Structure 1
Amino acid sequence: MAPIAPQQTVGRLIREWRMHHHLSQEELALRSELSQRHLSFLENGRSQPSRRTIVRLATALDLPLRHRNDLLLAAGYAPMYAERTIDDPQLASIRETLELILNGHEPYPAFVINRNYDVIAANRSVEVFVEDLPPHLLSPRLNVVRACLHPEGLAPRLLNFETVHANLLARLHRDLAATGSTSARELIAEIGRYPGPGPSHDPLSGPLDIATSLRLRTSRGELAFHATIATFSTAFDITVAEFAIESFFPADAATAAALRATIGPTSQPSPPLAVMASQGDRRPLV
């Protein structure tokens, strides 16, 4: 979905989102507890939706908060969801939560990304990923997809590059299918220009891990990680709703030992998130 244009009507937006999710009018009407006839009138402009109907349709379509605002604005209503910066005083409790998660996860890497896949905060252990990256991949912010797959990034050091490439590409396509993400579309096009696995490569060939891992050559030796992703499930602020916290766990004993030896429990904690957020050109925030 492209950003909303001033002349775009709410009916056209509803129809575009319905078609994007491959839903018939009947299916969307059922999900949103409307009659199919009423939905048809909304889409063709014969009826104007109420604010409550917009919210009902947006919920049925599982739209991201910023696109729910687009629907409301197109219908002539004020947006419902604010978009604050990470250093906004009203997000103090969110910053504290992120600090607890990032610092508490050390000595293992963890970072927070935004909807563009840019890292906005990280703990010190992320240094294991960025230690040899060139400046142009770190500025103005580290993008996790670009850093992993760029030929000057982690790609030459990834021992399972083909698997990581396939997983990241699949993730971008899922985001594009679910939200119409412009960032996902642009990154898919960009990594299509990078050297990639050969056309005959089958990511499912050979033995499969219990869970997909990231295996990397580093100054600490060969390290292997499993990853998890967490989000704020009940966020009503656009910024917070679009945060994703990625936490990496050692996939073998050697990786755990190498990281514990580098950043032990007696080390000083990472800088507070509020400080890190205002220093985007310094590590460990990248």
Structure 2
Amino acid sequence: MSSQAQQAREALGARLRELRRDAGLTGRALSSAVGWQLSKVSKIEHGKQTPTEADIRVWCQHCGADADVADLVATVRAVEAMWMEWRRILHSGTRRRQRTSIGLYEKARQIRVYEPSVIWGTLQTPEYAAAVLRTGVDFHQIPDDVEAGVAARMERQQTLYRGDRRFSALLGEQALYTRVGGTEVMAAQLDRLLVAMAVPRLSLGIIPLAGPAEHGVLPGEGFVMFDDQVVMVETVSAELTITQPREIALYSKAFMLLQKSAVYGRDARTLIARARSTLY
């Protein structure tokens, strides 16, 4: 288990311990009431064992915390699945991962995206996407199926034009300057952004380099929110899938604050055009 997942399990155990203490129960009293070994309660509370969903419901029932069941069950479901190493996700190449994301996009009605340093995949040109995926193939030493991966990413882009879903995308100004694929590729990519701004279902904002901190949130890793159900976060080593309601609420709050730091319309076009002018 990854260190992040272990930390999540320990945090879950700490929450359950607080519920038990708030109910005025000792570990021995709780284990006796539910018919468990005392060691099971201890292991759960100290993050040594992941409780089942049934364990959560029994625990909350005996601690008078039925209102916490849904949130805690969501945490349990996320602990083991939340952290997936990129090499495992990409073991067969890039296409499979790109195809998986299509399903998430098609099911969602509202998609919120924050990308601080690269262009969001759904707005990438084929050449830019190929350069990004090529970097991943080389870095993680996975099977080279970049062409198929690009095709799947381009297929995902069709979600911008069909259905009734809405997109809110925020790009850090740095994404306009990060050189991906060379001068001609970047020029075409920035032109693509200008064209995409006319898509009715897309709201595209650019966060100026000096913007975010004044609104109480510092930009970190990029993320994609699918309705209020799932948040996907990509890091160097892994992909984090967040389904815990409290954590999703934090990402939603962060996104709203980042939106306040973004510029739109003419001001966003000015930033994009300025970045393009530095290419030659």
- TM-score by length of structure 2 reads 0.27
More helix by share: 2
